[in-house]
Amino acid sequence: MNNFLRLRRPDDWHLHLRDQQMLAAVAPWSADLGRAIIMPNLVPPVVTGSEAAAYRDRITAALPENATLRPLMTLYLTEATDPADVVGAHAQGIISAVKLYPAGATTNSASGVRDFDRVRPVFEAMAEAGVPLCVHGEVTDPAVDIFDREAVFIDRVLDPIRRATPSLRVVMEHVTTSDGVDYVRAGGDIGATITTHHLVINRNHILAGGIRPHYYCLPVAKRESHRLALVEAATSGDPRFFSGTDSAPHPDRAKESACGCAGCFTAPNWLSICAHVFEEAGAIDRLEAFTSLNGPAFYRLPPNKDHIRLVRRDEPAVFPDRIEAGGETVTVFDPGFPLFWHIETDA
C-alpha cells in the first residue's frame, strides 16, 4: 500500500463561505485550496458583477495572509438577470460561472428561477460567451418525492435546457443519484461535482435510529445503491466528475431546530475523507484527478502548479468537532470512521 501521495494542490468546485462573522470563521478552513467556485446564495444574493467583485474582496480580506485560495465568483441567476451583465462580468474576470437555483430548492433560494423560459436569453448569451452554468438539479414540485427530485429535474428541466441551447456548458452540481451519473456520462459539454459527504452517507445515516440533523443536506442523501454509483464515478478517473464539497456551514442552533437547515460543513476534513474513500475503493492513484485535474480541465484552466502531500499514518488525523463563529458553534461533518490520511505542505 502506498503511504505517501504528492498531489497538485486541490481545488473545490462548489463551496459556501457565507458572509460577515460566519465568513471570518470558515474561510481559513479553505485557505489552503488553490481555487474554489464560491456560491452566491447570500441574503441578499449576489446577482450582479459589481456585487460579485465586492463579495470577492470580503472573502480575500477574511483569509489568512499566507492563504493560497483564489475565490472564483458566481452570479445567482434570477428571472431579472441581465445577459449583458453576465457576459461583461465574465469577460472582465469577475465571475467564472452562473448558478441556477430552482426557487425554493435549498438554502436562500427564494430568489431563484420559477419560469425557465424567462431566463432563456441569459442561457443563449452564456452559451455564446462560453460561461458555464452551475445547476442545483432538483425540481420543487411538492407532488414529487424528495428522493426523486434530481431524476425528475433532469427530464423536466435540464435536458430541455440543453436541447434548446446545445452549446451551453453545464455543471450538474452535487450529483446524488445513479440517474445523474448516467446522464452526465451520456455525453455533451457537461460535467458534475460530487460532494465529500455524498460519497460517505446514505439516507439511513440521516434517519435510521433517530434523526441526525448534521447529516441532513440538499440534495438529500439517497439509497446506498446511489452512493455506490457516486463512489464508482468519482474513483473511475472519468474527467467529467470532479470534487465540489458543497461545504455549507450553519449554526448548530439552526441545524438542530424544529425545521433544521440543510448542509454539511466538511471544509476541515474533506480531503482526508476523500483519500479514505479512494483508498477503500482501491483507487488512491486516481485521487489527484478527482481533486486537482478534472475540475480545471472542465473550466478550461491549468492545474495548480504547486503540490501538497498526503501521508498515511498509524495514528488518526485530528480535526475539531466544531468551530466557533460569532458566538455560535458550527459542527464539523463526522464521517463515522477514523481518518489516517494527514495533509502536509509539500517540501
The arithmetic mean of pLDDT across residues 79-99, rounded, is 97
Q: Which residue has the higher pLDDT, 157 or 106?
A: 157
Q: Which amino acid is at 342?
A: H
Beta carbons within 10 angstroms of residue 105's beta carbon? 21
- Are the C-beta atoms of residues 332 and 323 closer than 8 Å to each other? yes
Using a pLDDT cut of 90, give the percent of the chain over it. 95
**What's the pLDDT score for residue 110?**
78
For 109, the grid coordinates are: 433560494
Angle subtended by helix axes 49-62 and 83-91, to nearest 10? 40
Tell the residue number behind the cell numbers 478552513, with chain if given: 29
Give the pLDDT confidence of 145-204 residue by residue, as tens digits.
999 999 999 999 999 999 999 999 999 999 999 999 999 999 899 999 999 999 999 999
Q: How many CB atoms are located within 10 Å of the residue 10 CB? A: 28
Name the pTM for this structure. Answer: 0.96
As a whole number of angstroms, the distance between CA 53 and CA 345 comes to 30
User: Which is the catalytic residue, given 182, 238, 246, 314?
Assistant: 246
Which of 25-34, 48-57, 99-108, 116-125 has the lowest average pLDDT?
99-108
Nearest to 58 by CA among 25, 20, 31, 30: 20
Cα separation, 172 vs 103, in Å, equals 17
What is the pLDDT of the chain when averaged over all its residues? Answer: 96
Average pLDDT over residues 96-105: 91
Mean pLDDT, to the nearest integer, of 36-57? 97
In this prediction, residues 23-34 reach a mean pLDDT of: 98
The Cα 84–Cα 164 span in angstroms is 20
Q: Is 246 marked active-site?
A: yes
pLDDT tens for residues 221-244? 999 999 999 999 999 999 999 999
Are residues 78 and 71 in contact, defined by beta-carbon separation less than 8 angstroms?
A: no
Whether the predicted pLDDT of 106 surpasses 90: no
Does the pLDDT at position 1 exceed 60?
A: no
Parallel, antiparallel or unpaired: strands 4-8 and 307-312: antiparallel
pLDDT at 27 over 60: yes
Q: Which position has the grid cell 459527504?
A: 197
- The pLDDT value given to residue 74: 98
